[in-house]
Structure 1
Amino acid sequence: MPGDLADFAEFVEANLPGLLRYGHALTGNPHDAADLVQTVLEKIGSRWSHVRNKTDDPVAYVRRSMANAHISRWRKRRRENLVAELPETRSFTMADPFEHEPLWQALRDLPPRQRAVIVLRYYEGLSEAEIADSLGVSPGTVKSQASKAIASLRARLRGSDGTEGTEGRQAV
């Protein structure tokens, strides 16, 4: 058991920056990304020996777990919450430096699965087969989600800068 904990600690130390970047791209902000990574690593850490023996690529397993957890969290949050009183409008959190970037805004507005596919493909540089394996979907689903996401990003970016020609296509 102590060897498993040391092995898990080495895994986390080696992969934490990449997992946080992936979480940031999935969630849209660094705070939710840190929460997502922590939640998933807690679950995986408690059964690390099983995970390590089950899969050849634990990073892909963690990414898939993160994508699934994010989608589940997103589904729960999108339900309406009625409250008796309005919360205060002042916020003391730091602003996201990418908040006003058109590409970042468009990426944040994609549905969770499309965002995961785009992030894994263009940010992490994974192939369609690796993405399909990581998310637990078929390669055809990866292709269709990527196509829909790119079309949506192009439309959003074309609308945000006012261009109608091919200039916007090169940005995505």
Structure 2
Amino acid sequence: MADWERTLETLVRDRGPALVRYAYLLTGDRAAAEDLVQDAVVATFVRRGQLRETAAAESYVRRTILTTFVDGTRRGRRFRDVRHLLVRSDSHEGPERGVQERADVVAALADLPPRVRACVVLRFYEDLTIAEIARALTLSDGAVKRYLSDGTRTLERTLGPVQDDVETHVVGGPGRAR
């Protein structure tokens, strides 16, 4: 077995579920997320078959997932087709509360434009700084701040106030270089 094959096997076995969760946040659909991850893995190993470290391979795959999503080749077409199936309930009692909250977040993310959604996912799911998001998406820091501000405002209208101190993250608040 070649080194790249071992790397691929380890990546898919150990990091595959995390990659699918990451793609799911972007696409809003499990099947689309799985397709996106598969496409990203294939594209990564076709171009970079010499990869020998799982961490480097995962980094390339995550970048490919993000780029593919932002470029619009997988804009959640399937999710928009079934979004009406997610029924909002005003009653958040019982064990289904967490499931409903997750569905609400996914539905709210689906309403964001792709670049705004990517910035929000990278900030709040990947916990990247503004500078890191800007580098990942090849945007200016100011554009990232604007996208985060717009995304946060839109999400708060749908979901209510964000518990995290968004101002600290968006404008670099007191003592933090985010």
Shift of 1:31: 0.7
Correspondence for 1:67? 66
Shift of 1:142: 1.8
Residue type at the aligned position of 2:107: Q
Q: Distance in 1 between matches of 2:122 and 2:76?
A: 23
Q: Distance in 2 between matches of 1:129 and 1:48?
A: 26
Shift of 1:43: 0.9
What TM-score comes out, normalization by structure 1 length? Answer: 0.68
Residue type at the aligned position of 1:144: R
Correspondence for 2:92? none
What's the CA shift string for 1:55-103, capped at 9, x where partnerless?
A: x9543432221122123215696xxxxxxxxxxxxx9xx9896598433
Shift of 1:107: 1.3
Q: 1:11 to 1:132 in 2, by over 3 A?
A: farther
Partner of 1:20: helix, strand, or coil?
A: helix
Correspondence for 1:46? 46
Correspondence for 1:2? 2
What TM-score comes out, normalization by structure 2 length? Answer: 0.66
| Structure with more contact order per residue of length (Cα contacts < 8 Å, sep ≥ 6) | 1
Give the CA RMSD over aligned residues.
3.3
**Alignment of structure 1 residues 15-94 onto 2, 5 Å:** 15-49=15-49, 52=51, 57-71=56-70, 72-74=72-74
Partner of 2:73: helix, strand, or coil?
A: helix
* Higher alpha-carbon Rg: 1
140-149 vs 5-14, greater mean Cα deviation: 5-14
Could you list the runs of 4 or more consecutive aligned residues of structure 1 that deviate by over 4 angstroms after TM superposition? Answer: 74-77, 94-100
Gaps of 5+ in 1: 78-90, 158-167
Correspondence for 1:154? 156
Correspondence for 1:107? 109
Correspondence for 1:142? 144
1:13 partnered with 2:20: no
Q: In the alignment, is the contact (CA less than 8 A) between 2:36 and 2:65 conserved in 1?
A: yes
Correspondence for 1:164? none
Q: Distance in 1 between matches of 2:86 and 2:75?
A: 25
Q: 1:40 to 1:34 in 2, by over 3 A?
A: same
